[in-house]
Structure 1
């Protein structure tokens, strides 16, 4: 039986548990806390920070291949293990251009893929004023590393706010390169995403393109499939093929995109792992993104990605308070919605914005308004009425 090591023990690793049983794979997890979700499904656990390369060396001795639940890793340290024969999938080489968001943007641009205009900026605003004039406000300021769920991303309306944000941001004073990038603000009509997987033999499969809806820059809802033109879906599929083939990826990647008012598709960001926009596949597809990822990294044939319902809507259950509640009553009410499938991550602590679980509802037909109405019903159950403005 093949053993797969996973660096990271959050819900993305936890959701690989059922898939591992299905295809006969054992999971070994490297994670810092005994309370992390994936600890409950792992056959073995190395308790250490995800960027602890010494712990990863121990992990490597317990498994056949190592993969990643998140991208907050130390590639330089892991490269020493790779030189010693440790098998990482996706490879460290395929991750290298993506972990710094500025480098990622440059890589996408150099591939000829459509991206927003952007440039790097350091904490002293060197050479920024002339470049800002070329873009015009508002702009988007992003931390180049370690941003997720909206953290490290700021919509900047004017020059004074930019200066203030850079002054107040927590910065690594020892960094030898710029810490942020600035990109044009895209007045998109919809945000889109696609999950794509590439096998060891180069086969690529994609899931249906989905619409993602963010609030406060955190994903709240996903509608599958997105109501877009066939040529737009084909263009997004081609983008996925170009990217994964260029990187020689093995595994699942999430690709986030913008759709502009004039129908253009722009690539926003790449997640080199399973992704929130693909959670619907757990209940809506024959092969979930989590099974697909394990299939890819284990060298197995990739599975069917066809949606097995007319459409699906996924809603994240986000924390809205500091609490240790398990929200049993709300979960029971949500579970009574017809064709609903609720996944609770078992986290022991809630805090505002934290992803505690998600629910997917399968629908007979593709109807965006119906999907949004169901999402709002779920949110009306989950969030207190005092927080209705969040919805």
Structure 2
């Protein structure tokens, strides 16, 4: 089958990342078929067809494969071994399963980066056979699988805190790494096409609170040398993995200008949401172009000099669409509000995001604009 014949794209996962592919799929004349557990999941409302099943249900994925020309992923919470059995039946996965193998486990991912000679924080395995506590604090503990949005990541500040946490978690196998005293956290979205071409988005600054991304500023205020180094790391990773699709790569920048790689997400990513409004090709279109075998192009900022993206996180447990607050946010000049249509709010849950396009001379105002957004959103007033 020629890549030019790809029309039906399967997506394992039906959250907001899959939901945000809808406009791009329509533009590219692609059909989206989604495997997701619940009919209320965001992407269920936009898919051309939905298979209601857990994302690790291999039998459901086999049904998905029968309906699709190619299958891609909204998240990495997959059963790789089960998918490999399906792949042997001529199912095309993009990115390929062999490329995902060293990335799904965070300890394996760190080890893979180190094997490539990439700069990474000091790390080691923590488990029953290697139970020694950190020798420096603060230290970072990470779940090896299924951690996201702060879940499964812990910063411990003392040996006592470490011991209490590990016992409370029932002494699982974890990634233990040094805490990097970074000046900025950076990220880059990078796509690789079916013929090996690579498209890079600008390097952005991400701002986290409680290990959850709160804000993204594009482009990051960094030197050209740092930008080139990040871009080179992204190209090295994508080429060595021989991937097809878009990846989000997160990094640390220290005060002395050194870069280290934090994590890689083999999919569209929160740090690229600003591209929906600020770029001529969004990360979602770029990903679909790659997996469908369509040509890639270098993305450009359009009608702006940059953007600030703020996640709209749940701050209470409720069933509310926050229509009045969203209306106020939409009144901010050059703002675009994206609401994911989730019916339930709970603290920390990503309910939507807002992107504010920055015009000439406004890049230095990005943080002030983000604070204005958050003051409106987290206010207890309607």
TM-score category of the 2 structures, normalised to the smaller one: over 0.9
Give the conservation status (yes or no) of the 8 Å contact 1:286–1:303. Answer: no
Instruction: Report the alpha carbon displacement of residue 161 of structure 1 after superposing the two structures with TM.
Output: 1.2
Equivalent-residue separation in structure 1 for 2:299 and 2:108 (angstroms) = 31
Give the conservation status (yes or no) of the 8 Å contact 1:285–1:304. Answer: no
**What corresponds to 1:248 in structure 2?**
242
Counterpart of 2:250 in 1: which secondary structure?
Answer: strand
**What corresponds to 1:344 in structure 2?**
339
Equivalent-residue separation in structure 1 for 2:53 and 2:158 (angstroms) = 42
Tell me the TM-score normalised to structure 2 length.
0.96
Equivalent-residue separation in structure 2 for 1:128 and 1:273 (angstroms) = 34
Alignment partner of 2:257 out of 243, 255, 263: 263
Alignment partner of 2:352 out of 346, 352, 357: 357
- Are 2:185 and 1:181 equivalent residues in the alignment? no
Segments ≥4 residues shifted beyond 6 Å: none
* Aligned-CA RMSD value: 1.3
For structure 2, the 5+ residue unaligned runs are 1-5
**What corresponds to 2:274 in structure 1?**
280
Greater CA deviation, 156-165 or 36-45? Answer: 156-165
Give the conservation status (yes or no) of the 8 Å contact 1:28–1:45. Answer: yes
Q: Deviations over 1:285-316 (max 9, x none)?
A: 00000000000000000133111211100000
For structure 1, the 5+ residue unaligned runs are 172-177, 387-391
**What corresponds to 2:311 in structure 1?**
316
- Are 2:55 and 1:50 equivalent residues in the alignment? yes
**What corresponds to 2:107 in structure 1?**
102
Give the conservation status (yes or no) of the 8 Å contact 2:305–2:363. Answer: no
Counterpart of 2:182 in 1: which secondary structure?
Answer: coil
**What corresponds to 2:292 in structure 1?**
298
**What corresponds to 1:166 in structure 2?**
166
Equivalent-residue separation in structure 1 for 2:169 and 2:355 (angstroms) = 36
Q: Deviations over 1:36-74 (max 9, x none)?
A: 000011000000000111100000011110000000000
Q: Deviations over 1:180-208 (max 9, x none)?
A: 01000000010000000000100011100
Equivalent-residue separation in structure 1 for 2:293 and 2:138 (angstroms) = 46
**What corresponds to 1:151 in structure 2?**
151
Q: Deviations over 1:105-145 (max 9, x none)?
A: 000011011100000011x363524xx33xx1111011110
**What corresponds to 2:69 in structure 1?**
64
